Structure 1
């Protein structure tokens, strides 16, 4: 089973108030980032903003470190206090993708965001 555990850092622009989720993921040989989506989910009765990065095989023979920054469409609210970053293998059609996603995620609270200058 491949591991796609992301490392994240959440920042908030002092000038605009926009939150950005910065992520670094080490992808195994022959994988590449294919898409990034974001949206609201509900887990255990709590609303969580989630960013999902999909990876797929690309025929490469080397491990790659992928870095990307995602300006979040949703900031914190009374109900939404956490952001989850998940990396999934979109080239796999197996039923284990959901379980793998649970292992390949990192969460961060909006309160932990670093404030950045413009």
Structure 2
């Protein structure tokens, strides 16, 4: 399985308070972004909010830089201090994603969010 390490930036809107995770990832030939899901996972015994982008093969002949922004559904809590962005390859013939792991993701703390003005 290929690993697709995303570069991320977390922002928080000054007017709405909504957190958004912005991501850039380089996809090799034959891959395209197919879906984005969010959910709670546990990494090293700590709860982390995870945004998982799934990629699938599409027959493309060129490497592609993909950028996307995802409004984060989970606010920080006493237990949840980080957002984890994972880019994972879909299993062949299956669009579902297995258990995300920390090795192919990038964490960012809610406290490190950049405040944006609309």
TM-score for the superposition, normalised by structure 1: 0.89
* Pair 1:108 & 2:108 matched: yes
* Residue in 2 that maps onto 1:68: 68
Q: After TM superposition, where is structure 1 displaced by more than 4 Å over at least 4 residues in a row?
A: 97-101
Aligned positions, number: 115
* 1:3-30 CA distance string (max 9 Å, x none): 3100000000000000000000000001
* Pair 1:16 & 2:16 matched: yes
Deviation at 1:98, TM superposition (A): 6.5
* 1:40-91 CA distance string (max 9 Å, x none): 1122321110000000000000000000000000111111000000111004
TM-score for the superposition, normalised by structure 2: 0.89
Q: What's the Cα RMSD here?
A: 2.0
Partners of 2:103 and 2:79 in 1: how far apart? 24
- Identify unmatched segments of 5+ residues in structure 1: none
- Identify unmatched segments of 5+ residues in structure 2: none
Partners of 2:115 and 2:17 in 1: how far apart? 9
